[in-house]
Amino acid sequence: MTDKLRLGVNIDHVATIRNARGGVHPDPVRAALAAAEAGADGITAHLREDRRHISDDDIDRLMDSLSLPLNLEMAATPEMLEIALRHRPHAACIVPERREERTTEGGLDAVRGRDTLCPLVGALAEAGVRVSLFVEPDPAQLDAAKAVGAPVVELHTGAYCDAAALRRPHELQRIIAAAAHAEAIGLECHAGHGLTYDTVGPIAAIPTVVELNIGHFLIGEAIFVGLDASIRRMRALMDQARGR
């Protein structure tokens, strides 16, 4: 069991609120610095093709001012590869992206995307960026991630979080089995999407999962209790589930 489970705080939706009015408030970089104070282990930001939340300038400023590792979520496109290679963040998580979706709705199809992913993962790895692929908890996807040379997978927890109570144990079992498969084939395992105070415990309790990336719920909860308190409570629930 890896004792310490890292928390990556996704700050995209601070930028969503800023962009609703234009201008500079609230500033996602300020949120990132506050998240660091509250005990985040890393910051995650998704630079989407349509720039609907995080902007290029946000990435510039995060790279300049952040002492925590930055995990850049990006689509597997030449434009995003160029940006990632220019900035060389600590990590890059490759996600699928469709313009019409509200959020990242499914995992990356690493099986079908093999020919695109191989050179992209190779170029990022050569630049010293730790690459993860955001995939469904499906052994075939993990095998494909391994085959394209990614050292890390992030398991999509959306189906588990969205499932009705009766189906949730089934979705949890899929994630547990996928995390075991990741370990068996030598992949580091992260998880995220849709996690809340109610759903984080069973995922945090999976011993081989070493990082969770959480955004929307934390930013929403911050409206009521403040960002510091929302992150600290999530951190406490993760530690509790981990038996710390």
**Closest separation in Å from C-beta 182 to ligand PXP:** 15
Catalytic residues: 46, 73, 193
Which one of 137, 175, 189, 217 is in contact with ligand PXP (CB under 6 A)?
A: 217
Q: How many residues bind ligand PXP (CB under 6 A)?
A: 19
Q: What are phi and psi of 9, to 5 degrees?
A: -95, 120
Nearest-10 crossing angle of helices 139-147, 168-184: 30
Nearer to ligand PXP, 62 or 243 (CB): 62
> In this complex, which beta carbon is closest to ligand PXP, that of residue 58 or of residue 73?
73
Residue 192 touching ligand PXP (CB under 6 A): yes
Q: Does 26 bind ligand PXP (CB under 6 A)?
A: no
Residue 61: how many other CB atoms lie within 10 Å? 16
Which positions ≥6 away from 112 have C-beta within 8 Å? none
Kindly tell me the sign of the dihedral angle through the C-alpha atoms of 218, 221, 226, 231. Answer: negative
Rounded to 5 degrees, what are φ and ψ at 86? Answer: -70, -40
Whichever of 51 and 243 has its CB closer to ligand PXP, that residue is 51
Q: How many CB atoms lie within 10 A of CB 206?
A: 21
Tell whether residue 72 is a contact of ligand PXP (CB under 6 A): no
Taking CB under 6 A as the criterion, the residue among 92, 144, 189, 214 binding ligand PXP is: 214
Tokens, residue 78: 């030449």
Which residues are near ligand PXP by CB under 6 A?
10, 12, 46, 73, 93, 95, 103-104, 134, 154, 192-195, 213-217
